[in-house]
Amino acid sequence: MENTTYEYNKTLLGTTVSLTLLEPNETVAKIVFKTISMLEDKLTVNRQLSEVMSVNLAAGKHPVIVSQVVFSLIEQAYKVSLIPNNCFNLAIGPLVKLWKIGFKGHQVPNDEQIKQQLLLTKPEDIELNSAIQSVFLKKEGMEIDLGAIAKGYIADITKIILCKHNIHQAIINLGGNVLTIGQSLLSEDGYWHVGLRKPFSFNNELVGIFNVNNKSVVTSGIYERFFIQNNRLYHHIFNPTTGYPLDNELESVTIISNTSLEGDIYSTILYGLGIERSKKFLQKHQNISAIFLLKNKTIALVNHENISFKLLDKQYLISYY
């Protein structure tokens, strides 16, 4: 079997975006990257000019009318943010800016600073008007941040573009979000083989490899963006109640789902739930599979019937649920 692939790469979304096709198609790759760049321009909070930043800059002053694309994503993130006891929160922006994890000037804020910023992170203080597609942040200083959901949305849009151009076998990798389209012709079993990264490894070592077909794979982990101060690790997944990074038994959560948007949402929710509550949650969501890497070197595969997993790192023990 001839294992020929054509890979196109571009730096976007703060990472290397790669598109792997089975036949060369420079034209489609350009359309994909142009679309991703356009969506990044609308959704980013890392620049002063974007549709999302126009909403943030008007906080406490007036509503802002946004495009249908931006309103739709904000609306979906808003609905998820209102789920009780859930660590997904699109209004988390003030905390992200305070801690600066993953950016220059990261710091451990004092309790009073965190307390003040927490007052600005309540999703209930966001007002959406679907009739005119406007967004209003009721308190000055509020900021929405779609970082936990934007890559998934963009990956799903990319799949639509590829299908429109009659490309039904491909992989899009947005760094943490991998979307496989169709069956793979590169392996005899017809599956795409996706590697699961070992947390905190220097050389992108893999814990294992698993097989997927026409599925999204999204990983959220505490090793993605973090800093260490006084021998304590502070990572970028926050507890919206305390304002501090979540502290539980997990190093990463990988979600295997039909869409990348689902993967983004559930990887954040399940990281916040921890392993035991996540297992109960997934009993009611059989269409989603999850791989949990625990700090005690255990791998928990939940709804594992849909996962064919090959362990590469013998330090780990696997449990199936």
CATH at 265: 3.10.520.10
Residue 252 and residue 125 share a domain: no
* Residues facing residue 17 across a β-bridge: 10
Q: Is residue 151 part of a domain?
A: no
Residue 315 and residue 236 share a domain: yes
d(CA 270, CA 152): 16
- Domains identified in the chain, total number: 2
Residue 25 and residue 132 share a domain: no
The answer to whether 62 touches 140, Cβ cutoff 8 Å, is no
Q: Which residues contact 133 (CB under 8 A, 6 or more apart)?
A: 65, 66, 67, 68, 71
Q: Tell me: pLDDT of 64 over 80.
A: yes
d(CA 282, CA 257): 12
The answer to whether 170 touches 21, Cβ cutoff 8 Å, is yes
* Residues facing residue 16 across a β-bridge: 11
Q: Is residue 46 part of a domain?
A: no
d(CA 207, CA 195): 8
- How is 254-301 classified by DSSP, letter by letter? EEEESSHHHHHHHHHHHHHHHHHHHHHHHHT-TT-EEEEEETTSEEEE
Q: Is residue 157 part of a domain?
A: no
Residue 132 and residue 199 share a domain: no
Residue 200 and residue 123 share a domain: no
Q: What is the span of the domain harbouring residue 289?
A: 6-33+167-320
Say what the pLDDT of residue 2 is: 52
Say what the pLDDT of residue 188 is: 85
φ and ψ of 76, to 5 deg = -65, -45
The answer to whether 170 touches 192, Cβ cutoff 8 Å, is no
Residue 199 and residue 279 share a domain: yes
Q: Is residue 147 part of a domain?
A: no
Position 152 confidence tier, pLDDT thresholds 50, 70, 90: very high
Residue 303 and residue 185 share a domain: yes
Per residue in 243-300, pLDDT tens?
A: 999 999 999 999 999 999 999 999 999 999 999 999 999 999 999 999 999 999 999 9
Residue 309 and residue 241 share a domain: yes
The answer to whether 252 touches 199, Cβ cutoff 8 Å, is yes
